[in-house]
Amino acid sequence: MSSAFHIHIGGAGVRIGDMLWKLYEKEYNEATQNNYIYEEVDGNHYPLALFFDTDDGMIHEVQRNKSIKYKKHSFLHGKEEALTYARGKYTVGREVTEQAIDCIRKQIETMSRLDEFVITCSISGGTGSGCLSFLSQVLDQKFENKSKQNGFIIFPSSEMSNNVVGPYNAVFSLYTMIDDLQSVTMFDNQSMYNVIDYQLELDFVDYQHLNNLVAQVISSYTGLRRFNNCDNSKFLSNLCPYPRVKYLIPSYGKMTLINDYARTELQETQFIQYLTKKKCQLYQCPINPYLITSALLFRQKQLNPSFGQYDLTLNNLDHFFGQSSNIFQCAASNYQVLPEFAQMKLTGSYFSNDASIASRFKQLRESFCKIRQKRAFHQWYNGEGLEDCEFQEAHDYLQSLEGDYNSVRSFDNSQIENSNNYEL
Ligand SMILES: Nc1nc2c(ncn2[C@@H]2O[C@H](COP(=O)(O)OP(=O)(O)OP(=O)(O)O)[C@@H](O)[C@H]2O)c(=O)[nH]1
Ligand SMILES: [Mg+2]
């Protein structure tokens, strides 16, 4: 029996976890493989999850929700926010992360097979960036290659920010994700606001709506296993052809408001056209897509083995390897946690590994350089155990990652045939 263990880190990670487990709870009765994510004891089901944060605010909020039975040791917190990557990794977050590792070890000791860790956090803040970095390194060493780590991570937005050191935190965190995470599905708040504006007419949008999007994407992915007992271990790994080219852009649709009485279901072709639009991407790049790999994961109650197989939109998408999108289906109903959303018959997520992501890495690196040129906030990092040279190393890593993606773009088809030695 295989399982997944969910880890929710820092304010955003914990709030997303809260939304996700509320969604899982709604899906519980229809899912057939609940032991993938729950421990079932005496007729009760307990999430296989750990929520942890350096401060207690968000954790207490999740604990107040009594509709889900969590185990007592599913929560850990410290006393103050970390604010910077350095404090999250080396000082304020260190002890709570060590406790978290111990707690995870105890919880998973009893599992016969742990397939993966599903991790949620934002890497703009100190806890998400720093604790994730330390935690994922230790998990990687402890579990070697047996259990994959798949991150569903909020990156800084390109224009909108409420954290001045967000670019520092994110770049340092990215630097330490090199080897440890198998895949990183990326979101940013500005893109998610754009998607919500495009799909819905809401007067007021808050983190709940954004977190609902992230939760729906994760639920589509784990749903393959929970509803259909389909081995999802290949889903994300097939999207990541090289160890460093593992940053995925998700899209989600279609959301509809419950009070939209004129709402209609999209037909197959319309749905695919809609979902593969740039406007539905939850991490949007300023340049046109250049697909390396992609996968469509749709959900509807009735199985339809030929769904999308002959669709022209999908067939016309150019991919680096010349292959078309992989198509997966989750035979399940759509559930919604937020009361303003309608349950649709057909929903889906589209994951793309897209070389245009280099443009966002470049923007992030430029924001990092802008603060660094003035040596602004250096002391918040130096004083907490980070060496001066690590600023340069993290910067250079990100630049080389951009290079990896840019070299994919510059390849033409004749080169691909001779690309056996091509290493990224
Ligand atoms: N999508 C989403 N983004 C959030 C949420 N809460 C915070 N953010 C964003 O994530 C960034 C980091 O915030 P947190 O996750 O609270 O930070 P943290 O990881 O707890 O780290 P520190 O509090 O700095 O120690 C913020 O700047 C916000 O932009 C949330 O619930 N959902
Ligand atoms: Mg916090």
Cβ(17) – ligand 1 distance below 6 Å: no
Is 91 within a domain? Answer: yes
Parts of the chain with a pLDDT under 70: 144-145, 411-424
In a domain, 295, yes or no: no
pLDDT of the residue at 78:
95
Please report which ligand is nearest the Cα atom of 82.
1
The pLDDT > 70 percentage for the chain reads 96
Q: Is residue 195 part of a domain?
A: yes
Pocket lining: 402 vs ligand 1, CB cutoff 6 Å? no
Range of the domain at 229: 2-250
pLDDT at 414: 40
**115 falls within a domain:** yes
- Kindly state whether residue 407 falls inside one of the protein's structural domains: no
Give the model's pLDDT for residue 145: 63
Identify whether the C-beta of residue 112 lies closer than 8 Å to the C-beta of residue 36. Answer: no
Which token pair is 70? 């969590």
Cβ contact 397:175 at 8 Å: yes
Nearest Cα to Cα of residue 11 among 65, 70, 66, 52 = 52
Contact 47, 65 (CB under 8 A): no
Sequential DSSP letters for 66-80: TTS---GGGEEE-SS
Query: Is residue 132 in some structural domain?
Result: yes
Q: pTM here?
A: 0.94
Whose CA is closest to atom 4 on ligand 1?
A: 12
Ligand nearest to the CA of residue 163, numbered in listed order: 1
Ordered DSSP codes for 93-117 = HHHHHHHHHHHHHHHHHT-SEEEEE
Q: Which amino acid is at 155?
A: F
Question: CA-based diameter of the chain, in Å?
Answer: 61
Cα(129) to centroid(ligand 2), Å = 11
What angle do the packed helices 92-109 and 132-143 form, to 10 degrees? 30
CA–CA gap between residue 348 and residue 271 (Å, rounded): 9
Chain segment 237-263, per-residue pLDDT in tens? 889 988 889 999 999 999 999 988 888
With a CB cutoff of 8 Å and minimum separation 6, the contacts of 280 are 195, 198, 199, 251, 252, 253, 274, 350
| Within a domain: 36 | yes
- Per-residue pLDDT, 264: 87
Give the gyration radius of the chain's Cα atoms. 21
Considering the domain boundaries, does residue 174 fall inside one?
yes
- Measured in Å, residue 386 CA sits from the centre of ligand 1 at 22
At 52, give phi and psi (nearest 5°).
-145, 150
Beta strand 291-300 with 247-253: parallel, antiparallel or unpaired?
unpaired
What pLDDT shows up at residue 411? 61
> What's the structural domain count of the chain?
1
- Please state whether beta strands 113-122 and 75-77 pair in parallel, antiparallel, or not at all (unpaired): unpaired
Q: Which of 69, 26, 43 is nearest to 226 (CA)?
A: 26
CATH of the domain at 188: 3.40.50.1440
pLDDT of 308 reads 82
Which residue lies with its CA nearest to atom 6 of ligand 1?
A: 12
Contact 355, 304 (CB under 8 A): no
- Judge whether 318 and 214 are in contact, CB under 8 Å: no
CA atoms of 237 and 99, how far apart (whole Å): 30
